[in-house]
Amino acid sequence: MLNEQYSFFHNVERSFDKAAEFTKWDKGLLEQIKACNSVYRMRFPVKMDDGRIEVIEAYRVQHSQHKSPCKGGIRFSEAVDQDEVMALASLMTYKCAIVNVPFGGAKGGIKINPRNYSTYELEKITRRYTSELVKKNFIGPGIDVPAPDYGTGEREMAWIVDTYASLKPGEIDAAGCVTGKPVSQGGVRGRKEATGLGVFYGVREVCNMAGRMKKLGLTPGVKGKKVVVQGLGNVGYHSAKFFREHGSIVIAIAEYEGAIYNANGLNEEEVFQHRKATGSILNFPGATNIEKSTDALELECDILIPAALENVINGSNADRIKAKIIGEAANGPLTPEADVILNKKSTLIVPDMYLNAGGVTVSYFEWLKNLSHVRYGRLEKRFTENMNSHILTQMESLTGKTVSDAERKFIMHGAEEVDLVHSGLEETMITATQEIIAIWDKNPEIPDMRTAAYVCAINKVATSYNELGIFP
Ligand code: GLU
């Protein structure tokens, strides 16, 4: 049963409707864009290690087919229900549109806590889920392409591609049926850190806008900014890493067992190793414990990065949030009530549906790699290096001067796969940020950046529908 009052999907619809007011599209077209096209709810039995049979509840929602394939992650979480998967699938449509990734939105979910299952049980659940998707034509490189999400990673994606390929012998593009795979199984270099790096690029771009920063009473740039990160999973870890590497000070990191604080900054890798060794983020050397994890959200800081689950900032804590900028790395970390309260305080909320698009952007690069059957950089890397070497030698002989070894190495370097992926991601996030801000600047009536992002998404999806025409 969907609970309308707390419906995440309904919250997405509310944000959509608010933004639709600033567009001139036909009402029916807007209704079509909002609707989830297909919802597949499944139940299947899996035999556990102790011989018991458990009935697993799972979903795949395809929100929009205005572009093919549909795209979106699969999450393993006890909180999974139809409403959540529908909301997340619709966010995928808008996210892809904003960053010009030519996919429709989709999302999948399996209602389990992966910690309660052995690796073998998880493998059986994942493979069975995949074969259910194959049976109903809900997966394929040109149909619907899953990826990692909360509670899943490379390992699950490897099981998915293997199951798919074995059920579809001879399908030459089978590797493109899922993204976020290990590099050895057709993955692309740079996918793992992509969401966190995209979050960093997006927030950095906003921070580089002097006018916006002045309004917040901040100086431009990310250097020296105090950052709080909630969640030390893949997205939180990499967001923290890139902010730290670019001179920000990560003063607190929160996980569900508690949070830690150090005004001089935390190193996410050391914290990660400490948590791995002790089973908890607490008692990290040199840091102060914050027993109640959510208290970390309320710390004095410049940038707050919620990188865990939805609804963590809501009507009950929003007025205590002190951050000037909130970068929504997770999907839906703020409720609409929190949005209202924080917008009144003029907090700049950099919205989830584009800020965390780094994952799907690099998934797009992975999918292209799978369809082209060639690694990025394979054709041009040596050519570039030979050319650069030639130019450098000519310049040195013409000037009679020589560059240092370090400079030589840097200038000579031909782009490898990871360089191209990072560069494509940087370009994508900068362009998307600028497009959204331009919409916001052009229409001062638009109340916040989330609404501007929705307007951007609606315009792109509606244009695409208009170009397609409606099938009779
Ligand atoms: N799960 C990620 C997201 O929510 C990635 C999706 C993808 O790569 O398709 O954006």
pLDDT in tens, 122-148: 999 999 999 999 999 999 999 999 999
120/238 same-domain check: no
CATH number at residue 136: 3.40.50.10860
Out of 34, 107, 192, 369, pick the active-site residue.
107
In a domain, 378, yes or no: yes
In a domain, 4, yes or no: no
In a domain, 398, yes or no: no
179/211 same-domain check: no
Of 170, 185, 200, the last residue of a domain is 185
Of 155, 185, 215, the last residue of a domain is 185
308/431 same-domain check: yes
In a domain, 54, yes or no: yes
In a domain, 399, yes or no: no
144 pocket-lining for ligand 1 (C-beta < 6 Å): no
pLDDT of residue 309: 82
pLDDT of residue 3: 41
pLDDT in tens, 202-228: 999 999 999 999 999 999 999 999 999
The minimum-distance atom of ligand 1 relative to the CA of 150 is: 1
**Which residue range forms the structural domain that includes residue 351?**
189-390+411-472
pLDDT of residue 383: 97
In a domain, 10, yes or no: no
pLDDT in tens, 37-93: 999 999 999 999 999 999 999 999 999 999 999 999 999 999 999 999 999 999 999
172/194 same-domain check: no
pLDDT of residue 1: 37
205/166 same-domain check: no
232/361 same-domain check: yes
In a domain, 360, yes or no: yes
155/302 same-domain check: no
- Ligand 1 geometric centre to CA of 75 (Å): 10
Query: Could you tell which of 92, 160, 331 is best to mutate to test the pocket of ligand 1, judged by most ligand atoms within 8 Å of the CB?
Result: 92
180/251 same-domain check: no
Of 169, 185, 201, the last residue of a domain is 185
Do the Cβ atoms of 31 and 64 come closer than 8 Å? Answer: no
380/470 same-domain check: yes
45/88 same-domain check: yes
pTM above 0.85, yes or no: yes
In a domain, 134, yes or no: yes
pLDDT in tens, 171-191: 999 999 999 999 999 999 999
- Ligand 1 geometric centre to CA of 215 (Å): 32
441/294 same-domain check: yes
If 0-12 CB within 10 Å is exposed, 13-18 middle and 19+ buried, where does residue 37 land?
middle
Instruction: Give me the long-range contacts of 151-155 (CB less than 8 A, separation at least 24).
Output: 151/75, 151/76, 151/77, 151/114, 152/73, 152/74, 152/75, 152/76, 152/114, 153/180, 153/234, 154/180, 154/181, 154/182, 154/187, 154/192, 155/182
- The number of domains in the chain is 2
